[in-house]
Structure 1
Amino acid sequence: MYQIFVNDKPIILTTKDKKPKGAKSYKLKTVLINRVIKKLNKTDLNAVYLTHKNESKLLDKFLKKLPNIIAGGGKVYNQHGEILFIFRNDRWDLPKGKAERKESIEETAIREVEEETGVKNLKITKPLDTTYHILKRNNRYKIKITHWFEMTTDYDGKLKPQTKEGITKVKWLNKKKMKKALKNSYANIKTLI
Structure 2
Amino acid sequence: MYKVFVNDRSLFLTNEVQKETDFQIFLLESIDIKKLIVKMYQNKIHNVFLYHPDEKLIMKTLKAKIPVVKAGGGLVYNAKGEILFIFRNGKWDLPKGGTEKNETMEETAMREVEEETGVSCLSISKKLQKTYHVFKRNGRYKLKQTYWYEMQSNFDGIPEGQADEGIEKVEWIHPKDISKVLENSYENIKLLFENREKSKQ
Q: Which runs of 4+ in 1 moved over 6 A?
A: none
Matches within 5 A, 1:140-155: 140-155=140-155
Which residue of the partner structure matches residue 65 of structure 1? 65
Which residue of the partner structure matches residue 178 of structure 2? 178
How far apart are residue 44 of structure 1 and its match? 5.3
Query: What are the superposed Cα offsets for residues 10-63 of structure 1, whole Å, 9 maximum, x if unpaired?
Result: 110001123522221100000001111122122354311100110111111111
Which residue of the partner structure matches residue 133 of structure 2? 133
CA RMSD of aligned residues (A): 1.0
Query: What are the superposed Cα offsets for residues 75-98 of structure 1, whole Å, 9 maximum, x if unpaired?
Result: 000011110000010000000000
Matches within 5 A, 1:15-34: 15-34=15-34
The answer to whether the 8 Å contact 1:85/1:172 transfers is yes
Aligned residue type for 1:179: S
* Unmatched tracts of structure 1, length 5 or more: none
Residue aligned with 1:102, SS: coil
Query: What are the superposed Cα offsets for residues 81-134 of structure 1, whole Å, 9 maximum, x if unpaired?
Result: 110000010000000000000110000000000000000000000000000100
* CA distance in 2: counterparts of 1:100 and 1:145, whole angstroms: 14
* CA distance in 2: counterparts of 1:150 and 1:75, whole angstroms: 5
Instruction: Give the fraction of aligned pairs with identical amino acids, expressed as a percent.
Output: 48
Matches within 5 A, 1:33-182: 33-43=33-43, 45-182=45-182
* CA distance in 2: counterparts of 1:152 and 1:176, whole angstroms: 19
Aligned residue type for 2:51: T
Aligned residue type for 1:40: M
The answer to whether the 8 Å contact 1:73/1:112 transfers is yes
Of stretches 10-19 and 159-168 in structure 1, the one that deviates more from structure 2 is: 10-19
Residue aligned with 1:167, SS: coil
Query: What are the superposed Cα offsets for residues 126-148 of structure 1, whole Å, 9 maximum, x if unpaired?
Result: 00000010000000000001000
Q: Cα distance 1:21–1:39, how it changes in 2: closer, same or farther (>3 A)?
A: farther
TM-score (norm 1): 0.97
* CA distance in 2: counterparts of 1:4 and 1:15, whole angstroms: 15
* Unmatched tracts of structure 2, length 5 or more: 194-201
* CA distance in 2: counterparts of 1:139 and 1:43, whole angstroms: 18
The answer to whether the 8 Å contact 1:22/1:45 transfers is no
Q: How many residues align?
A: 193
